[in-house]
Amino acid sequence: MLRDEVLELLSSSDPTDLAEAARAIGRDLAHHRTAEVDEVRRHLEQSSGDAFAQGFALAVEHIASSFAVAGAEADELAPLTRAIALRAGWRKVLTALAGGAARPSELALATALSRSRISHVLAGLERAALIERPRVEPPGDGRERPCRLTPLGYRALSEGARAPVVAGADLDAGVVATTYLLAKLLGRGRASKAALEDALAEHLDRAAIPRVIDTALRAARNAGLAVVGPDQAVTMAELHLQDVVADALADALADDRPAIPVIDLARARAPQGGLVVVRSELMRSRWDIAIARRGLDDLRLIASADWLTGEVDQIAPRDRPFAMVYDSPSLARSERGSEHARALLHRADSVHCYAVAGTVLPDGIAAIEVA
Amino acid sequence: MRRLRTVGLEEARDVVVVTPRRGLPELMHRALADTGALLHGHFGLHGGKHTEYFIRFRALSRSPQLLGLVADHLVSRIEPDVTTVIVPESAGFFLGDALAQRLGAGIAVARTDLQRRPARSLYNGNVRAGDRVLVVNDVVTTGASLEPLLDLAADHGATVTGVLVFGALDGPGFRAILNRRGVPGDHLLEAGPAWTLHPPDLCPACGRGELPLLPAAELN
């Protein structure tokens, strides 16, 4: 599918179109066309105020950059691991160093190589930055300076013991995994890990699948898009959160249910003698009604309309301390640029946000984990 | 240009008509001005019309005294034999709750749809067969949006004995709908001479193009 077609699908608000776009990114564009994926990501970031689209863009960026870094590292390591595999002397000396030997005399004993061969090998390893030989004070016999592995040396040695990595294929597979996951979440709000494994089996060696899935899930989770439940199902985070909050608010309206856990979690954050100010666009009538219904004098609600009408100082009076609670990470993120919100946040004793476990929130906002 | 401004006392007298005309108007005009509940801007109403004023009942209902005053005046205008008050999940709840307390009635909350219009479905509370129902909302244009609530009561085998709203902008339209449905009802305020409802193609604010259109329902 052409990039323009994908961009057009992404402009639609129909979930089926969005899912089709996500599939196209994973299936076609990711195939050695990372520049096109980048363009889609920029388009999503610039053109859409929709939280999920922004998260989608962020997730694609996360996955593409983590695999690009992994690829670059693997490219850098590849000649070294090949050299170690080819040179028995290097391999023996590195293994002895990893085993605790340090001085040339100890290495000679451990490897059964001659002293002159050892010093030749050490010079080569030092040039390749696989080992380092710190100077000793006071300066003694140069030939007896102790050696140790550098971090790169450790990496090269351990990588050499494993199967070789095909970096380029990983990037594509990673983007495929992320976009498949997002397409499923867009379409149904849920995806199973097993289905994700099956989808990747077309693109990837079995052994690499768990690592790619982990990276894809981490990207989606860091972007605040998905949550992995105890049943290993992946659920769209914001939807999941909305369900939890909506259920709790429905309970708060019912006369026969004493527990209003979501509201009490927020109230527990209130400063002594102060208020909890909930910033909510979701179900805001319901919040307002629940607060009035239960006679909760320490809870207030601010909706966008209150910024417009300037009633915020009546809702959160300047003479009372308060904790502010966002109803969702998407609102907390989207409001970072708002002057109104900044003025209020500045007055807040603390700022919190309802979130599912593992969601990454902007600096200064503490999660109230509800799932 | 500011998208919204609150309307002061002098202007409120021209914008809003209060019934009955003795005693109450001054109180209500002051209440609207003091709480900042009467807004000037460019608003889109549910029925599709545009207007330059809007009453934000939530602002007024933050004061228990004013809410009580409004409820006392409204409750005197109906037969008090009510078992259940139906309100939509909106700012109308606050008025409904105050009325239910005065009537010793239960309260049932109807869902609102994505455009925040009342829907023919209950969100909370019960309506039973034989219940005598009062339908309440804060501000309506003609009250056409309340018809799903009348139907909802009928769905449960209950009888609607009254409809009370704080404001009915189009007073004659409101009375016409009540007559057609055969239900008694009343309201305290309607749009005055300075408050016109325009079809979108004749809206002067649209013509000037200065103020963005705000969906009125988003403000409550």
Residue after which a domain boundary falls, among A195, A223, A251: A223
ipTM of the complex: 0.86
| φ, ψ for residue B29, nearest 5 deg | -60, -40
Which structure tokens are listed for B69?
């005053």
Kindly report whether the peptide bond that precedes residue A164 is cis, defined as omega within 30 degrees of 0.
no
Q: What's the pLDDT tens digit per position in A95-140?
A: 888 888 888 888 888 888 888 888 888 988 888 888 888 776 555 5
Spatial CA neighbour of B85 closest among B171, B20, B146? B146
Spatial CA neighbour of A282 closest among A260, A304, A299? A304
Examine the domain organization and report whether A211 and A74 are in the same domain: yes
Q: Is residue A286 part of a domain?
A: yes
Q: Is residue A305 part of a domain?
A: yes
Q: What's the pLDDT tens digit per position in A335-370?
A: 888 888 999 999 999 999 998 877 778 889 999 988
Examine the domain organization and report whether A176 and A298 are in the same domain: no
Kindly report whether the peptide bond that precedes residue A138 is cis, defined as omega within 30 degrees of 0.
yes
Examine the domain organization and report whether A208 and A271 are in the same domain: no
Examine the domain organization and report whether A134 and A255 are in the same domain: no
Q: Do A308 and B62 touch (CB under 8 A)?
A: no
Examine the domain organization and report whether A74 and A125 are in the same domain: yes
In whole angstroms, what is the distance from residue B109 CA to residue B126 CA?
Answer: 9
Examine the domain organization and report whether A202 and A252 are in the same domain: no
Q: What's the pLDDT tens digit per position in B120-176?
A: 999 888 999 999 999 999 999 999 989 999 999 999 999 999 999 999 999 999 999
CATH fold for domain B5-219: Rossmann fold (3.40.50)
In whole angstroms, what is the distance from residue A225 CA to residue B156 CA?
Answer: 41
The domain of A283 spans: 239-369
Total tally of structural domains belonging to chain A: 2
Nearest-CA residue of chain A relative to B6? A309
Residue pointed to by tokens 């244009």: B141
Examine the domain organization and report whether A294 and A146 are in the same domain: no
In whole angstroms, what is the distance from residue A284 CA to residue A301 CA?
Answer: 8
Q: Is residue A231 part of a domain?
A: no
Examine the domain organization and report whether A259 and A166 are in the same domain: no
Examine the domain organization and report whether A90 and A166 are in the same domain: yes
Q: What's the pLDDT tens digit per position in A74-91?
A: 666 777 777 776 677 788
Residues 6+ apart with CB under 8 A from A211: none
Residue pointed to by tokens 């997002």: A182
Examine the domain organization and report whether A84 and A218 are in the same domain: yes
Model confidence pTM above 0.90: no
Q: How many CA atoms lie within 13 A of B154 on its CB side?
A: 8
Spatial CA neighbour of B32 closest among B194, B189, B164, B172? B189
Q: Is residue A229 part of a domain?
A: no
Examine the domain organization and report whether A210 and A263 are in the same domain: no
Report how many helices (DSSP H) and strands (DSSP E) chain A contains, helices first: 18, 10
Segments making up each domain of chain B, as ranges: 5-219
Which residues on chain A are in Cβ contact (under 8 Å) with B89?
A: 285-286, 289
Examine the domain organization and report whether A209 and A90 are in the same domain: yes
SS3 B157: coil
Residue after which a domain boundary falls, among A159, A194, A223: A223
Q: What's the pLDDT tens digit per position in B85-130?
A: 999 999 999 999 999 999 999 999 999 887 788 889 998 889 999 9
**Is B50's Cβ below 8 Å from some Cβ in A?**
no
Q: Is residue A232 part of a domain?
A: no
Interface test with B, best of A294, A311, A314, A315 (most B CBs within 10 A): A311
Per the rule left: phi > 0, alpha: psi between -120 and 50, beta: everything else, B95 is alpha
